[in-house]
């Protein structure tokens, strides 16, 4: 009854804004799914439950900013990286602790994932490495919050120029594929990996097959499939 109405609200209000460039949050994501997003391939609607989880995460972020402001820590929030050609993004915050600047990135998760976290998630490390690079800051803090129990873990990350170069090369490589209409191959753990489980491009990906292929050929297959 009410649940269906609420879910429908989330389904009906999804904006599929056209993405025109890479985001820092794309670092570590499946290159094929980023390719599909930038090419505006047909995608499934996002699960309303997942959208509610994102919303809740944003509320937690705002609550924490408020606490940090009240602690009178020198801090600026939601700062876009300086404009450049390959990628855009917005860091949660930059703050100053004991005379040293840090990029701050906040992530929230359920208790089960939180409890098993003994090191920062690699995709989160990729993101803060890129933020550090573009802001020319040498340290970052990844702050993880347990949404169910409100517990907190933090990890301090040092800037790694080699890793940043690898990530930027990955974006350049994918940019080349986009320009040449070459769909990247599937992930090595396809189709059982976690990214595939949550992927909104599962159907197009299945149609494409596992190997690289020409985007125009895939578009023909998509049209034929939908006739």
Q: Note the residues at the interface with ligand SF4 (CB under 6 A).
A: 30, 32-33, 186-187, 190, 195-196, 199, 201-202, 205
Compute the distance between CA of residue 176 and CA of residue 181 in angstroms, rounded to an integer.
Answer: 8
Comparing CB distances to ligand SF4, the nearer of 50 and 96 is 50
Task: Confirm if 133 and 164 have CB atoms less than 8 A apart.
Answer: yes
Comparing CB distances to ligand SF4, the nearer of 125 and 186 is 186
Compute the distance between CA of residue 105 and CA of residue 84 in angstroms, rounded to an integer.
Answer: 21
Compute the distance between CA of residue 130 and CA of residue 212 in angstroms, rounded to an integer.
Answer: 27
Token match 């999804």: residue? 14
Comparing CB distances to ligand SF4, the nearer of 44 and 220 is 44
Smallest Cα–Cα separation from 35: which of 159, 158, 218?
A: 218
Comparing CB distances to ligand SF4, the nearer of 31 and 92 is 31
And the tokens for 99? 């005379």
Q: Least distance to ligand SF4 from the beta carbon of 43, Å?
A: 10
Comparing CB distances to ligand SF4, the nearer of 36 and 131 is 36
Compute the distance between CA of residue 150 and CA of residue 110 in angstroms, rounded to an integer.
Answer: 10
Q: Report the relative pairing of strands 182-183 and 213-214 from DSSP bridges.
A: antiparallel
């Amino acid at each position: 009854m009410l649940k269906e109405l609420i879910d429908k609200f989330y389904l009906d209000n999804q904006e599929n804004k056209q993405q025109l460039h890479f985001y820092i949050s794309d670092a570590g994501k499946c290159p094929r799914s980023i390719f599909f997003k930038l090419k505006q391939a047909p995608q499934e609607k996002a699960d309303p439950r997942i959208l509610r989880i994102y919303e809740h995460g944003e509320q937690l972020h705002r609550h924490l900013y408020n606490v940090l402001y009240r602690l009178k820590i020198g801090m600026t929030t939601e700062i876009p990286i300086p404009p450049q050609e390959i990628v855009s993004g917005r860091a949660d915050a930059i703050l100053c602790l004991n005379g040293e600047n840090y990029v701050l990135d906040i992530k929230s998760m359920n208790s089960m994932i939180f409890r098993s976290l003994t090191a920062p998630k690699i995709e989160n490390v990729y993101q803060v490495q890129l933020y550090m690079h573009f802001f020319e800051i040498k340290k970052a803090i990844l702050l993880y919050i347990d949404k169910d129990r409100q517990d907190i873990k933090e990890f301090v990350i040092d800037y790694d120029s080699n890793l940043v170069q690898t990530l930027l090369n990955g974006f350049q490589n994918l940019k080349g594929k986009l320009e040449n209409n070459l769909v990247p191959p599937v992930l090595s753990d396809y189709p059982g990996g976690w990214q595939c489980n949550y992927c909104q491009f599962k159907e197009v990906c299945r149609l494409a097959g596992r190997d690289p292929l020409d985007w125009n050929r895939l578009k023909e297959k998509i049209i034929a499939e939908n006739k």
